[in-house]
Structure 1
Amino acid sequence: MCAMPSKLVLTAPTLRTLAFAALMTSAAATAASPLIDSCADCHGKDGASTESDVPIIAGLSNDYLVSTMEEYRDGERPCAESKYRCGDTSRPATDMCKIAKSMSGAELTEVAAHFSALPFVRAKQTVDPAQVAIGKKVHELHCEKCHADGGSSKDDDSGILAGQWMPYLEASLKEYAEGTRTPPKKMKPKIDELSADDRNALLQFYGSFQ
């Protein structure tokens, strides 16, 4: 779903109404900024992506969003080229490395603060119950220590896995498994222990949170 530009409509121009409007305009300044609005061109309205290859970014922790953008900026994470999904879709495809490099430190901070304050909206996906049960066991054995509450906690600053798009998570796990993306040191041995079947079951487990 593409986002519509934010608008503030004033009616009954009394002093009380104008004062309230001024307050609301100040509070919503970040949400209405062109920078924030531009994120919706790929990540959807309020960061709740409806594209299975584009991650949901609303509700992720501030620290996680900052570190992720820094990894893109510094070339420490693969950047798949992506077309624009909303707005002017005739624009040339882009990638997160280009976008992160174009942002100032203040802009990066603004984006992280905005989206971390929004609720995480879980993707609606079809899963295999048998694989979900297997994936739950794999998660508890290999992943729960850092990705608490079945991967649904934002407080561990490891990203929210539960309810994230499965194709996006699949691409991320593939990058780790193939060595094109360096996992955190404590995650590396866990990734190495997972078989392809384990990874698929994990995806089904995380996709079952809806």
Structure 2
Amino acid sequence: MMKNYTGYGLLAVGALFGFSVATGASADVSKLTESCVGCHGKGGSSTEAAIPNISSYSTEYMTGALKLYKSKERPCPEVKIPGGAKKGSKSDMCQAVKDLSDSDIKQVAEYFAEQKFVRTPQKFDPALAKKGKGLHDKLCEKCHSEGGSVASDDSGILAGQKMAYLDEQIKFFTEGKRPMAKKMKPKLEELDKAGIEAVIHYYGSFK
């Protein structure tokens, strides 16, 4: 459960009067994540193809990603808001995080880090997935371990992630629109268009 520390005074008062400080924290986090859930779904698992599942990402990785969006160092393409108040209403990540403080960002990141990642069932080409596994094992496994199933402080979860989203983000990397780790650049450069398609189908094959 999230904790919102406001000083030892509140902890002492809580002990005296028997209420839980964490209850207030939970309410705060619920309000902070309201717009996130509106697009990414309950617990960070959306049914929309272009919107990634963000549950179980590490706090550090999610914090870094949100700060990049806030500073507009990551592209912020518009997406249609599922169940939006207005028909066809759209939003983007830069808009969603622009008013969040560093403390807010940390709380949001910690909340989604505690949620269970839900893999998205997708149509994939088994032959391409098999080829993609070989490429992943050769180029990606060291950082994206267990077939991309494990989140780390510098990488998200790839296995079972939305294929459309992965395709979009790889394009952002290759076009220089999204910051890329130095260790990732030479690995990605070894993949041609067909290789990229294959690894995407591999990640999409996880159920």
Q: How would you bin the TM-score normalised by the shorter chain?
A: 0.7 to 0.9
- 1:4-153 matched pairs, under 5 angstroms: 26=23, 29-30=26-27, 33-90=30-87, 92-153=89-150
Report the CA distance between 1:24 and its aligned residue. 11
Unmatched 5+ residue regions in structure 2?
1-17
Deviation track 1:113-144 (CA, whole Å, cap 9, x = no partner) reads 10000110000111111111100001011111
Q: Hey, what's the Cα distance between the residues in 2 that align with 1:192 and 1:209?
A: 24
Q: Hey, what's the Cα distance between the residues in 2 that align with 1:91 and 1:39?
A: 17
Please provide the CA RMSD for this pair: 2.3
- Which residue identity does 1:86 align to in structure 2? G
Contact 1:30 1:36 in 2 (8 A): no
Contact 2:122 2:204 in 1 (8 A): yes
TM-score by length of 1: 0.83
Q: Hey, what's the Cα distance between the residues in 1 that align with 2:153 and 2:105?
A: 20
Q: Hey, what's the Cα distance between the residues in 1 that align with 2:51 and 2:96?
A: 15
TM-score by length of 2: 0.84
Report the CA distance between 1:23 and its aligned residue. 5.5
Q: Hey, what's the Cα distance between the residues in 1 that align with 2:126 and 2:24?
A: 44
Identity across aligned pairs (percent)? 42
More displaced stretch, 165-174 vs 146-155: 146-155
Contact 2:61 2:152 in 1 (8 A): no
Name 1:15's counterpart in structure 2. Answer: none
Unmatched 5+ residue regions in structure 1?
1-19
Instruction: Give every structure 1 segment of 4 or more consecutive aligned residues whose post-TM-superposition deviation is greater than 6 Å.
Output: none
Report the CA distance between 1:156 and its aligned residue. 5.0
Q: Hey, what's the Cα distance between the residues in 2 that align with 1:134 and 1:128?
A: 10
